[in-house]
Amino acid sequence: MLTKQTLQIDGLKHCNNTSDNRIHLNPDEPLTIIAHDCFASAGQFKTLADVYGLYDQQAICFEYDDRKSLEETSGELVSALNKLSNENPNQSLHVIGHSQGGLVARRALTVDREDEKKVVTKQLQLTTISSPFNGIEISSHCGITPLRILSLGIVDLICYAVTGEKYQQIPPNADFIEQPGELVASVSQHLVIKTDERNTCRRTNDEGICLEDDYVFSVNEQSNNQVDNRANTDLVTVQAGHVEIVGNGDSVPTDLINILKDQQLLIDNGTIDQLEQARLIEQLYFQAENSNLSILK
């Protein structure tokens, strides 16, 4: 019987466990680390860890305060990855981030960071999903210095109230966006999954009428040539809503799962037939939704 390694690393935990910060790993197997979006748009992204478990692969979550500076948060991820790699220097890591989590994940894996931190992991792969690498248009006023000065700080206060400390890092003209940085050499692949979110719906009523759309970022907001044109970068665009792509409670994120399989980032070892896979995965997502509802009640 395999004895798993038990570690306690700030920011890393099992996705479905809120009370225990210890992680239990097989150091000889690859590990996927999931970085969520801000909680309002996170959907059921963490359930992806259970999908990995279904295929006998291991995945854990990186937890962070989504209102903090993206530079600071990405630095926390660097520290977590380095502690993990110091324990298991030969373990390959796959970091996958949705939306804001993708911004954090990519920034963590860049060279020449402001804090001079650098990931030491020898084997890395990166996947980002629906991440606004070109900046968020609706936040443009947060990055206009003359407007911020003329408003006597009112613009800053409004932007901070809405987004937190990251408000100066997400406009299209922010340094964080215009200077995304070069990935460390140990990143063998950056898979960029963009979502065309037009005409999508997050929530419907019993008659099928859309009550809330699932459009958050345009494809243009997700497209930055300095990110897209790097070596070892693969681009995929999917017609899907911002939350739908990671699971929204009404459907299973089949597109995402299939892309990860196609890219060999989720290995289907063939031990479960396709119909049974579909049944088990559907059960995972709908159980997670019911669990969330019971907590909210």
The pLDDT confidence band at residue 163, using thresholds 50, 70 and 90, is: low
Give residue for tokens 């990143």: 187
| Alpha carbon distance 257, 260 (integer Å) | 5
Average pLDDT on 56-81 reads: 95
Structural domain includes residue 199: yes
Number of independent structural domains in the chain: 1
In a domain, 151, yes or no: no
The one-letter code for the residue type at 65 is: D
Q: Does residue 169 belong to any structural domain of this protein?
A: no
What pLDDT score was predicted for residue 38?
78
pLDDT attached to residue 127: 99
Residue 106 lies inside a defined structural domain of this protein: yes
Question: What are 9-24's pLDDT values in tens digits?
Answer: 999 999 987 778 899 9
Q: In this structure, what CATH number is given to the domain that contains residue 129?
A: 3.40.50.1820
Tokens linked to 284: 């995972």
Residue 129 lies in a domain: yes
* Mean local confidence (pLDDT), 251-264: 96
Please tell me the distance from the alpha carbon of residue 176 to that of residue 135, in angstroms, as a whole number.
9
pLDDT at 147 over 50: no
Residue 165 confidence (pLDDT): 61
Q: Place 66 in a pLDDT band, splitting at 50, 70 and 90.
A: confident
Q: Residue 272 sits in which domain range?
A: 5-135+174-296
Cα separation, 72 vs 77, in Å, equals 9
Mean pLDDT over residues 131-143, rounded? Answer: 77
Q: Which residues contact 124 (CB under 8 A, 6 or more apart)?
A: 92, 93, 94, 95, 109, 184, 186, 187, 188
pTM (two decimals): 0.89
Mean pLDDT of the chain: 87
Is 156 part of a structural domain of the chain? Answer: no
* Averaged pLDDT, 176-204: 96
Return all residues near 149 (Cβ < 8 A) that are at least 6 apart. none
Q: Is the pLDDT of residue 58 over 90?
A: yes
Q: Which of 197, 196, 190 is nearest to 226 (CA)?
A: 190
Residue 153, domain member (yes or no): no
What is the pLDDT at residue 250?
A: 76
Instruction: Confirm if 222 and 161 have CB atoms less than 8 A apart.
Output: no
Half-sphere exposure of 235 (CA within 13 A, CB side): 14
Question: Residue 83: inside a domain, yes or no?
Answer: yes
Band of residue 125 on the pLDDT scale cut at 50, 70, 90: very high
168-177: b (≥16 Cβ within 10 Å) or e: bbbbbebebb
